[in-house]
A and B are shown apart, each in its own frame.
Chain A
Amino acid sequence: MYALSVGDLSRIVRFGEERGAEFVEARYQDMLYEAIVVDNGVIRAFNISYTRGVGIRVVAGRYAGYASTNKLDLESLKNAVERALKAAKSMEVAGSTIALYSRKTVKDKIVSHYNVDSIDVDPSEKIELLMDMYKVSREVDGIASSTIRYGFERDHRIYVSSSGDYVDITVRLIGIGVYLVASVEGVMERLWDSKSRVAGWEFIRDIDWISFARENAELVVQAAKAPVVKPGRYTAVLDNEIVGLMLHEAFGHATEGDIVDAGGSILENKLGEKIASDLVTVVDDGRVEGGYYVPYDDEGTPKRKVVTVKNGVLKSYLHSLATAKKLGGTPTGNARVMDYSRVLLVRQTNTYMEPRDWSLEEMIRDTREGIYVRGKGAMGGQVDPSMGTFTFTVGPSYMIRNGEKAELVRGVMLSGNILETLMNVDAVGKDLVVHTSVFGGCGKDGQRVRVGGGGPHIRVRDLAIGGGSR
C-alpha cells in the first residue's frame, strides 16, 4: 500500500503557508485493525480494515480551519489545504480567534514495544484459541450464548507542522474479550469482560485465556442466580477497575481544558481549591504500565505526567496548545483526535489514582455494612461534567456484612455527584492496577480515542446505588 512520505507532508505544509496561512499542520494516519468475532461457534466476522488519510489544520487570519482527504495524490492534498483555508475564512461570520502556545520544536520517531507482530501470526492460531474459549464457556451449565472477540490495532501517525515539528509514532494494541449470556430459570444476565495490552502477540500467548473464559462463564451464571441489589445509599469498596472508570468519567472529563474553556466544567475557577478528600491524588499519564501508550499527543506535544489533584487539591487542567494559551496553563500533551479526519479535542490518556496504604482485606474488615463493587463485567459510565452528575453500571458485586464479603448481587448501578463522591473517599489501597482496551475507549463529541485507567481499591461513604430488575 502506498505510504505518504514526510517530504510530501512538508510540501503540503509549505503550500499552506504560501497560500497565506500563519500556521499549518498535517496529520497522516495509516491504521490497521484486525477483528475476529466467534459468535456461538460461528465466525461471524473476520475482517482487516485499513484507515488512511491526511488531516490538515490551518490558522489563517487567526481563525482555525480543518480539512481532510483520503486521496493522497498531491492535487487532492492541495485541495484539502484550500478547503481548510476556506473553512477558516467562513469563521469570520462569528468565530473565535485561536492562539497556540509556542513550545519547543520536536523531532522524534517511536514504536511501542512488541515482540511478535500480531498481523504476522497465522490466523488459524488465533481462530483456534477463540474456538477453544468458546467451547469451554459453553460447557458451563446455564450459558445461553457466548461471543468471543479478538482485536488488534496498529496505529501509525505522522505529525508535521510549519513550526518544524516531526513526530512519527506507531502503537500496537491487542486483546481478547468475551460477551456471555446466561439463562437460569427464566432469568437472563449478560457479562462482558476483556483484557488488552499495548504489545504484540506475546501478550496473547502469556495469558491463560481458557481459564479466563471459564471463570467469566461461571460468574455470569452465578450472577443470573443472584438477587438484584436493593437500591439505597451504601458504603462502597470500589475495585481497581471501577476506580479508573469513575475517575475517568466522573472527574477526568471535567479537567479537560476545552470543556473548562467552553464553560461546561464543574471545575471551572477551582484551581487551587480543595475538591476531594486528602487521600485523593489523581494523575493523567501517557506512559503508565498497563495503560494506552501516548508519548506525544496529536499536536506533537510530549505527553507529560500531570497531577491534576494532589492530596485533594485541584492542581491542573489537561491542555492542548490552544487551551494552555487561553487558560494560562502549560501544554500537557492531551490534544488528541480519533483519526486524521477529526478536529483536535482535549482528551485524557490514562487516568488513575495514586495508591496509599490500605489492603483490600483491611478495607472490607473495617466496613460493617456495605457493598464491594466490582469492575469485571462493567458496562461503562457517563457524566454530565457541567453539573457533576455521573452514573455507571458495574459488574456482579458482593455485599459486605459484618466486615466480610457476603453474597453476590447483580444489576448494580452507581450514581452521584463528582465532588461529593471524591470528598467521601475515606480509604485508599496500596494495589495500583491500570488497564486499557482494544475494544473501546472514551467517546466525546463523536470521537472515540483509546484511553486507560485504574487505581488502587478505595472506599467511598454514602454512595447512591440503584438496581435494575430481572
Chain B
Amino acid sequence: MKSILLDLASRIIDKALEEGIEEVEFYGRWIHEIDAKISRSRLEAVKDTAKIEYGVLGAIDKRVGSVSSEDVGIDPGDLVRQLKSIIRASRRDENWSGFAKGYSRGESSPGYDKAIAEIEHYRVAEIASKVVEEAIDSAMRTGAEEAIVSEGRYSVAVGGVCIANSNGEELYDEYTLSTISLEVKSRREGEESSYWVWTGSRKLDIDEIIDESRRGGEYSVKFVKAKPVESGEYTVLLDPYMTALFISTVLEPAFSALEVQEKRSPLTGKLGKQVVSDAIDIIDDPTIEWGLGTRAFDDEGIATSKKKVVERGVLKTYLYNYYTARRENRHSTGNGFRSSPGSPTTPSSTNLVLRGYKNLASMEDMFVEVKRGIVVHGMIGYWMSNPVNGSTQATVSHGLYIENGEVKRPVKGVVIGGNIYEWLGKRLVAIGKELKKAGNIYAPALLINGVRVAG
C-alpha cells in the first residue's frame, strides 16, 4: 500500500508541474477495516472493507483548487487537466503562501499495534460477542431483570497516510484503531432504560473494552424510572465523559486560528487573557500513548508538539495550520487536519486534555457538596451548543437528582443550559481529580453552580 501511494503521489506531482501548475500537494490514505455489527445481543453481520483515497491540491498564482478520487489506476493527465480547470476558475487568495515547507516528525509515541494489524475475522467476532456477554452480565448484576445489547459494533482498522508536495517534501506513517460502541437496554420493575457507550484506542486493549461494556451494562439499569425535575437553577455535576462532550463541541473549535481570524471565535483578541478559571490547564498533547489523536505529524506534514493552550486559565496560544500561521507570520503549531483527503487543512487539536490545578475533588466528594443538584451521565443534543458564543445546552437523558449529598432519584428529559466560559469560570466549584478519555478528549468531572434547568 505504501508504495502504491508514494508512487501515485510522485506521478501526479510530476505531471501537475509539467502541465504548469505551480504548486501541488498530495494527501493519500488507505484503510483495511474489519467490523462486527451487533443487533439484539447477536452478531448481525461482519464486514471487511479495503479502501484507498487521495486528494490533490494545486495552486497557480495564489488560486487554489483540489480534486479527490479513489481511483488508483487513474491517468494523472486526466486528473491534472481537471485540477487545472478548477484552479483557473478560482480566485486569488492574497493570504495564500504556498504548501507547507519543513516536513518533519515530532516526538514519537506508540500508535501502531501489530495485534490489530494482523487480527483475523473470527477474533473480531469473538471480541464482539465477549462485549455483549460482559455488558449483559454487568446489567444483571446491577439489578436488571432482563438486559440486551440492542445495537453495537466492534471495529478494528489498520491504515496508512502519505503526504507529499512539490517542495520535495514527503512523509508516510501507519496506524491502527480499535473501537467499540454499544447500547445496552435493561428492564427493571416493569420499566425500561438504556445506555450508550463508545470508546476507541490505537491499541487492542481488551481490559478497556470490557470496562466500557460493563459500564454500559451498569448504567443501563441505574436510570430506570427517570423523570424530569422542576425548572430552576441547579448545581450540576458533569461526569468526565459529559465534560468531554461539551469541550469538543463548544470549546475546541474556538481555539482554531482560522475561526479567530475569521471572527467566529469568542476567543478573538483574548490571547494572554484569563478566559477560564485559574484552576484550569488545557493542553494539546499528540504524545499520549495509544491516544486517538496521537501522531507525529499533522495532515500537511508539520511536526506535532505538546503545548499548553490555556495555562492557569490564561489563553496562551491558538491552534495553527500552515495557512493561518503564515497569515500571522509565525510557525504552524502542527494542528492542520483535513475533513477529507481533498479538503484544505483547518486547525484542530490532536488530543486535548483539560486538567485541574486546585479545587480538586473525587466524584464522591463533589456529590457530598451538592445541596440540590443533578449529576449528568448522559445527554443528547449537546452538539448543537454554539462555539461562536460559548452557549451550551443539552437534554439530559441520564441524570441523578441529588439533595444534601444523597441521590434521590434518576432524572431525564430536562434541558440544561448556560455558557461554557461561565461554567469553566465563575460558576466552577470543583474539578475532578481523575481524567477519563472520550475520543481524543481527556477530561475530569466538573461541579458547576447556577446551571439553568428547564423541566
- A and B from one assembly? yes
Q: Is the CB of A95 within 8 A of B388?
A: no
Shortest distance from the beta carbon of B283 to any chain A beta carbon, whole Å: 26
Q: Is the CB of B418 within 8 A of A264?
A: no
> Which of chain A's residues has its CB closest to B124's CB?
A90
B395 lies within 8 A of chain A by Cβ: yes
Q: Is the CB of A46 within 8 A of B89?
A: yes
Shortest distance from the beta carbon of A173 to any chain B beta carbon, whole Å: 18
Q: Is the CB of A413 within 8 A of B415?
A: yes
Q: Is the CB of B391 within 8 A of A50?
A: no
Residues of B within 8 A of A341 (CB): 49, 51
B170 lies within 8 A of chain A by Cβ: no
Residues of chain B in range 243-288 having any CB-CB distance to chain A below 8 Å: 262-264, 266
Q: Is the CB of A470 within 8 A of B129?
A: no
Question: A55-91 vs B: 1/0 string, CB under 8 Å?
Answer: 0010000011111111111000000100110111111
Q: Is the CB of B89 within 8 A of A123?
A: yes
With contact pairs A39-B262, A389-B397, A468-B385 given, residues A52 and B70 touching in the complex (Cβ less than 8 Å)? yes
**How far, in angstroms, from A286 to B124 measured CA to CA in the complex?**
36
Shortest distance from the beta carbon of B420 to any chain A beta carbon, whole Å: 10
Q: Is the CB of A87 within 8 A of B121?
A: yes
Q: Choose from A72, A91, A187, A417 the contact partner of B125 (Cβ within 8 Å).
A: A91
A127 lies within 8 A of chain B by Cβ: yes
Residues of A within 8 A of B454 (CB): 231-232, 415, 464-467
Q: Is the CB of A70 within 8 A of B86?
A: no
With contact pairs A49-B67, A183-B263 given, residues A65 and B381 touching in the complex (Cβ less than 8 Å)? no
Residues of chain B in range 27-53 having any CB-CB distance to chain A below 8 Å: 34-37, 39-40, 42-53
Q: Is the CB of B42 within 8 A of A264?
A: no
Residues of A within 8 A of B381 (CB): 381-382, 391-393, 413, 415
Residues of chain A in range 237-292 having any CB-CB distance to chain B below 8 Å: 258-259, 261-264
**How far, in angstroms, from A343 to B422 measured CA to CA in the complex?**
43
Q: Is the CB of A415 within 8 A of B413?
A: yes
Number of interface residues of A (CB under 8 A): 94
A402 lies within 8 A of chain B by Cβ: no
Question: B125-153 vs A: 1/0 string, CB under 8 Å?
Answer: 11011001000000000000000101101
Q: Is the CB of A386 within 8 A of B380?
A: no
**How far, in angstroms, from A91 to B126 measured CA to CA in the complex?**
9
Q: Is the CB of A49 within 8 A of B342?
A: yes
With contact pairs A70-B71, A90-B125, A413-B393 given, residues A382 and B48 touching in the complex (Cβ less than 8 Å)? no
A411 lies within 8 A of chain B by Cβ: yes
**How far, in angstroms, from A417 to B227 measured CA to CA in the complex?**
11
Q: Is the CB of B47 within 8 A of A127?
A: no
B405 lies within 8 A of chain A by Cβ: no
A48 lies within 8 A of chain B by Cβ: yes
Q: Choose from A1, A87, A232, A259 the contact partner of B74 (Cβ within 8 Å).
A: A1
Q: Is the CB of A50 within 8 A of B71?
A: yes
B183 lies within 8 A of chain A by Cβ: yes
> Which of chain A's residues has its CB closest to B56's CB?
A47
Question: B370-412 vs A: 1/0 string, CB under 8 Å?
Answer: 0000000000110111101101111101000000000000001
B90 lies within 8 A of chain A by Cβ: yes
Q: Is the CB of A86 within 8 A of B121?
A: yes
Residues of chain B in range 60-75 having any CB-CB distance to chain A below 8 Å: 63-74
Q: Choose from A39, A71, A80, A181 the contact partner of B388 (Cβ within 8 Å).
A: A181
Q: Is the CB of A469 within 8 A of B64?
A: no
Q: Is the CB of B43 within 8 A of A45?
A: no
Q: Is the CB of B46 within 8 A of A91?
A: yes
A190 lies within 8 A of chain B by Cβ: yes
Residues of A within 8 A of B124 (CB): 90
Q: Is the CB of A95 within 8 A of B392?
A: no
**How far, in angstroms, from A70 to B91 measured CA to CA in the complex?**
33
Q: Is the CB of B150 within 8 A of A391?
A: no
**How far, in angstroms, from A91 to B123 measured CA to CA in the complex?**
10
Q: Choose from B125, B151, B185, B414 the contact partner of A95 (Cβ within 8 Å).
A: B125
A115 lies within 8 A of chain B by Cβ: no
Residues of B within 8 A of A94 (CB): 42-43, 125-126, 128-129, 132
**How far, in angstroms, from A91 to B47 measured CA to CA in the complex?**
10
Q: Is the CB of B380 within 8 A of A189?
A: no
Q: Is the CB of A87 within 8 A of B70?
A: no
Residues of B within 8 A of A86 (CB): 48, 121
Residues of B within 8 A of A469 (CB): 391-392, 417-419, 422, 452
Residues of B within 8 A of A467 (CB): 393, 417, 452, 454
> Which of chain B's residues has its CB closest to A33's CB?
B68
With contact pairs A70-B51, A131-B91 given, residues A49 and B422 touching in the complex (Cβ less than 8 Å)? no
Residues of chain A in range 75-127 having any CB-CB distance to chain B below 8 Å: 80, 83-84, 86-96, 98, 122-124, 126-127
> Which of chain B's residues has its CB closest to A34's CB?
B86
Q: Choose from B49, B194, B231 the contact partner of A232 (Cβ within 8 Å).
A: B231
> Which of chain B's residues has its CB closest to A48's CB?
B67
**How far, in angstroms, from A76 to B341 measured CA to CA in the complex?**
23
Residues of B within 8 A of A17 (CB): none
**How far, in angstroms, from A187 to B412 measured CA to CA in the complex?**
31
Residues of A within 8 A of B185 (CB): 263-264, 386
Q: Choose from A52, A98, A258 the contact partner of B71 (Cβ within 8 Å).
A: A52
With contact pairs A43-B90, A415-B413 given, residues A69 and B50 touching in the complex (Cβ less than 8 Å)? yes
**How far, in angstroms, from A124 to B87 measured CA to CA in the complex?**
11
**How far, in angstroms, from A88 to B48 measured CA to CA in the complex?**
10
Residues of chain B in range 73-119 having any CB-CB distance to chain A below 8 Å: 73-74, 78, 82, 85-87, 89-91, 93, 95
A44 lies within 8 A of chain B by Cβ: yes
Q: List 26 A-B contacts (CB under 8 A).
A: A45-B343, A46-B89, A47-B55, A48-B66, A48-B86, A49-B68, A67-B48, A70-B71, A71-B52, A71-B72, A90-B121, A91-B45, A91-B125, A92-B122, A190-B264, A190-B388, A190-B389, A262-B40, A264-B151, A264-B183, A390-B380, A390-B395, A413-B393, A464-B228, A465-B454, A469-B392
Which A residues form the contact surface with B (CB < 8 A)? 1-2, 39-40, 42-53, 57, 63-73, 80, 83-84, 86-96, 98, 122-124, 126-127, 131, 144-145, 181, 183, 187-190, 231-232, 258-259, 261-264, 341-343, 379-384, 386-387, 389-393, 411, 413, 415-417, 445, 464-470
* The 4 nearest A-B residue pairs measured at CB: A466-B415, A231-B454, A123-B89, A391-B381
Which B residues form the contact surface with A (CB < 8 A)? 34-37, 39-40, 42-53, 55, 63-74, 78, 82, 85-87, 89-91, 93, 95, 120-122, 124-126, 128-129, 132, 148, 150-151, 153, 183, 185, 192-194, 196, 228, 231, 262-264, 266, 340-344, 380-381, 383-386, 388-389, 391-395, 397, 412-419, 422, 452-455
Given contact pairs A67-B47, A390-B380, a sample of 6 additional A-B residue pairs in the complex whose CB atoms are under 8 Å apart: A43-B91, A93-B43, A96-B42, A122-B89, A181-B264, A467-B454
